[in-house]
């Protein structure tokens, strides 16, 4: 069933007003008609089964037939911080991260990034990245719409990441603990138990420098290993998010 995200002010009683690109998609791309059914998410934890009722220019109205609390969101709010990769790899990272349960994706620039932040182009890029996240959320059945933040520098990344209850710094160097061991220790009450919010830090193609790793460790991040193989940057985020999902949702 097609899935759409709306704000609470678009719901009035048992009527939902869908506007803009989503309304165009329903009427023109999907060629849906009155009486057909859709799922609407209010981005506050509720899902509504709806029946399309009327069509106007730029607006589609649907009647709510039933509602329920969302059950398909991960139990932890995960913020993925991804160092800017080359080419269109970030598009893939965003898409797969949303599918694997990330609630927020924030690109950042690190020492070994080939791609650098260009502020004059950032707004346009951010809009496109959020469209990718929205399409992925619709496709995989998310109930909350993950946000892609604007790109930040390394120092700002550290400040934002450390706002979470725990922070995993994924690193291929020495002194790391396996991600499975970290999660097991948390479940047993270590590191404050399973956090409500969790940051995950992934490097670019060149990884992190020793100095960057030291700064993040000093900031209180947990130095996290992802196994014996070196993963590509576009693989690492999906891998660690899948590990977290497996431990918290599938065990």
Q: pLDDT tens, 173-193?
A: 888 999 999 999 998 886 678
CA dihedral sign of residues 69, 93, 159, 165: positive
Q: Which two tokens stand for residue 155?
A: 């120092």
What's the rounded mean pLDDT across residues 238-250? 93
| One domain, residues 12 and 107 | no
* DSSP one-letter code for 29: I
Last residue of a domain, one of 69, 85, 115: 69
pLDDT at 92: 97
Residue 105: band (very low, low, confident or very high) from pLDDT cuts 50, 70, 90:
very high
pLDDT at 131: 96
CB contact at 8 A, 243 and 180: yes
The residue behind tokens 């404050």 is 192
**Residue 21 CB neighbour total at 10 angstroms:** 12
Q: Which two tokens stand for residue 175?
A: 């002194």
* DSSP one-letter code for 149: P
| One domain, residues 210 and 107 | yes
CA dihedral 162, 167, 168, 174 (to 10 degrees): 60
Q: Which domain holds residue 140?
A: 77-249
CB contact at 8 A, 61 and 22: no
Residue, of 251 and 230, whose pLDDT is higher? 230
| One domain, residues 95 and 202 | yes
pLDDT at 1: 86
Count of structural domains, the chain: 2
- Give the pTM: 0.90
Write the CATH number for 30. Answer: 2.40.240.20
| One domain, residues 56 and 166 | no
pLDDT at 137: 95
Q: Which two tokens stand for residue 98?
A: 């949303």
What are the tens digits of pLDDT across the range 127-152?
A: 999 999 999 999 999 999 999 999 99
What are the tens digits of pLDDT across the range 146-165?
A: 999 999 999 999 999 999 99
Q: Give every strand in the sheet of 11-12, ordered side by side.
A: 3-5, 37-41, 46-56, 59-69, 15-19, 11-12
| One domain, residues 15 and 57 | yes
| One domain, residues 39 and 99 | no
pLDDT at 44: 85
Rounded mean pLDDT of the chain?
Answer: 94
Q: Is the pLDDT of residue 60 over 90?
A: yes
What's the rounded mean pLDDT across residues 36-59? 93
Calculate what percentage of the chain has a pLDDT beyond 90. 86
**Helix axis angle, 89-99 relative to 233-249, nearest 10°?**
0
Closest CA to 59 of 22, 91, 92: 22
What's the rounded mean pLDDT across residues 92-106? 97
Tell me the chain's radius of gyration from C-alpha atoms.
20
Helices (H) and strands (E) in the chain, counts: 7, 13
């Amino acid at each position: 069933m097609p899935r759409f995200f709306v704000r609470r002010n678009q719901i009035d009683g048992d009527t939902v007003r869908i506007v803009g690109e989503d309304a165009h998609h329903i009427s023109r791309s999907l060629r849906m008609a009155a009486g057909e059914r859709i799922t609407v998410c209010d981005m506050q934890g509720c899902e509504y089964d709806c029946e399309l009722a009327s069509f106007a220019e730029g607006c589609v109205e649907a009647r709510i037939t039933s509602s329920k609390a969302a059950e398909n969101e991960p139990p932890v709010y995960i913020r993925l911080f991804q160092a800017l990769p080359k080419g269109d790899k970030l598009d893939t990272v965003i898409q797969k991260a949303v599918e694997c349960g990330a609630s927020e994706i924030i690109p950042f620039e690190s020492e070994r990034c080939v791609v650098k932040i260009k502020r004059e182009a950032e707004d346009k890029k951010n809009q496109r990245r959020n469209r990718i996240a929205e399409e992925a959320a619709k496709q995989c059945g998310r109930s909350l719409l993950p946000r892609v933040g604007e790109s930040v520098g390394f120092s700002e990344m550290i400040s934002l990441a450390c706002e979470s209850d725990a922070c995993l710094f994924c690193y291929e160097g020495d002194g790391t603990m396996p991600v499975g061991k970290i999660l097991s220790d948390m479940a047993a009450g270590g590191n404050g138990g399973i956090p409500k919010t969790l940051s995950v830090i992934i490097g670019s193609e060149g990884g992190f420098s020793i100095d960057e790793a030291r700064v993040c460790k000093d900031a209180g991040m947990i130095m996290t290993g992802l196994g014996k193989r070196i993963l590509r940057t576009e693989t690492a985020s999906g891998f660690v998010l899948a590990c977290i999902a497996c431990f918290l949702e599938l065990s």
